[in-house]
Amino acid sequence: MKILLINQVFVSPDEPGHTRHYEMAKYLQKYGDELVIVASDLNYQTGQRTVDHQGLVTEQVIEGVRILRTYIYPAIHRSYFWRIVSFFSFMFSSFIAAMRVKDVDIIMGTTPPIFQAFSAWLVAFLRRKPLLLEVRDLWPEFIVSMGVFNNPILIKLARMLEIFLYRRATHILVNSPAYKTYIEDKGIPAKKITFIPYGADVQMFHPELDGSHLRQELNLQDKFLVLYTGALGQANDIYTILRAASQLKEEKDIQFVLFGDGKERPKLQTEAQKLGLNNLLFAGVRPKYQIPAIIAAADVCLAILQDIPMFRTTYPNKVFDYMAAGKPTILVIDGVIRQVIEESQGGVYVAPGDDQQLAEAILTISTQPDRVKKMGSNARAYLEKHLDRQVMLEKTRDLFLQLRKA
């Protein structure tokens, strides 16, 4: 098979971020299949260019994976208005690039941002190919719930586009069980929606990895290391982490380390300086291939989002990486992912937005090394049984095969 994916936020192993689609491309190669990826030329976390321009489209080949990097207006870390402008620029450039790819069997669109999914639909429509729509987050519901998108006319238009794509897609792939329910409630037949969680690579993330060199690099050899990895954006509620760290300033053995970047990083660093957080370190960004060793260096790992009802539908990727690495998750997110952590007994739940409860949970767990070890092993065992990335990719390929035959 030859599958064409349009994904503005695609990440290669040499960039920070989630590399699930790259891993999918490598997996498909084993069967002689090809996943061609149309991506933007900016990294979503850093906002930095990933390639030097050679016209509108610059082709990369990484270990046999073909990536067409197309121009995007560099404004994803500015206001939401300019971010939308940036999304539209990729919508047009990705359409041009995708139409140049020959002999495609399936078109795969992904959302958010939703505008690139429209490009995928148009390419599939013009080329008379099946469209698989992958829903990674619920757009526009998330940004409406956060209050950053409040124009009633634009909200109505965005929801019309969302329903249009759900109805026109040949099939819909979701990575959270709550997304399936949400889309069914929009009137889409259940048989048209498949739930396949992303899971994690049990070989890439492993409890036996040695993270001691990172502790030495950061001079944190004897600390109880509380790790956060990922985006530093508005949705991620890093301010609650800062307030919890402020309450633990006198606990000299506890150290917070944040790896990542995003729109809120400058404000977060300013706030951390105001609070005098010598126990919290912004460690910058690292490419994905270094993340397993970084997680290996941690004692416990944080996953956190704002206290917004819609965020209860999410299956955050970082949680699965933490579990695969055999690390307990301190989960500051309610909903379906809480069910995973509690069923696996692989971490501790803290109410979203409650910095006092978060500080107390970290302080308590920092004195319980046996409990930390047990939760980590529980998490790993659960992930191996239910969320192995290779099994999830096998299910995804089966879905591709069904679509090609349809």
What number is the average pLDDT over the span 156-173? 96
Residues 206-245 pLDDT 10s: 999 999 999 999 999 999 999 999 999 889 999 999 999 9
Cis peptide before 309 (omega within 30 of 0): no
List the domain boundaries for the chain.
2-199+388-405, 212-386
- Give me the architecture of the 2-199+388-405 domain, per CATH: 3-Layer(aba) Sandwich (3.40)
Burial letters for 169-202: b for 16+ Cβ neighbours within 10 Å, e otherwise?
bbbbbbbbebbbebbeeeebeeeebbbbbbbbbb
Cβ-contact 330, 301 below 8 angstroms: yes
Closest CA to 310 of 146, 169, 171, 72: 146
Q: Is the pLDDT of residue 53 over 80?
A: no
Query: Are 2-199+388-405 and 212-386 in the same CATH fold?
Result: yes
The DSSP string of 303-365 is EE--S-GGGGG---HHHHHHHHTT--EEEE--SHHHHHHHHHT-EEE--TT-HHHHHHHHHHH
Task: Say what the pTM is.
Answer: 0.93
Q: Counting beta carbons within 10 angstroms of the beta carbon of residue 1, is it exposed (0 to 12), middle (13 to 18) or buried (19 or more)? A: middle
Angle in degrees, 0-180, between the axes of helices 317-324 and 336-344, rounded to the nearest 10: 10
Residues 62-102 pLDDT 10s: 999 999 999 888 877 677 777 788 889 999 999 999 999 99
pLDDT of residue 245: 98
Written as six digits, the tokens of 352 are 């979203």
pLDDT of residue 146: 85
pLDDT of residue 154: 84
pLDDT of residue 406: 73
User: Worst-scoring range by mean pLDDT, 26-35, 146-155, 205-214?
Assistant: 146-155
Strands lying side by side in the sheet with 224-229: 280-282, 254-259, 224-229, 300-304, 329-332, 347-349
**Gap between the Cα atoms of 12 and 14, Å rounded:** 5
Query: Is CATH 3.40.50.300 what the domain over 212-386 is classified as, yes or no?
Result: no
Written as six digits, the tokens of 272 are 């951390």
Question: What's the chain's Rg over C-alpha atoms?
Answer: 21
Q: Look over the chain and give the mean of its residue pLDDT values, rounded to a whole number.
A: 94
Q: Counting beta carbons within 10 angstroms of the beta carbon of residue 286, is it exposed (0 to 12), middle (13 to 18) or buried (19 or more)? A: middle
Output helix, strand, coil percentages for the chain, rounded to the nearest 5.
Answer: 45, 20, 35
pLDDT of residue 84: 81
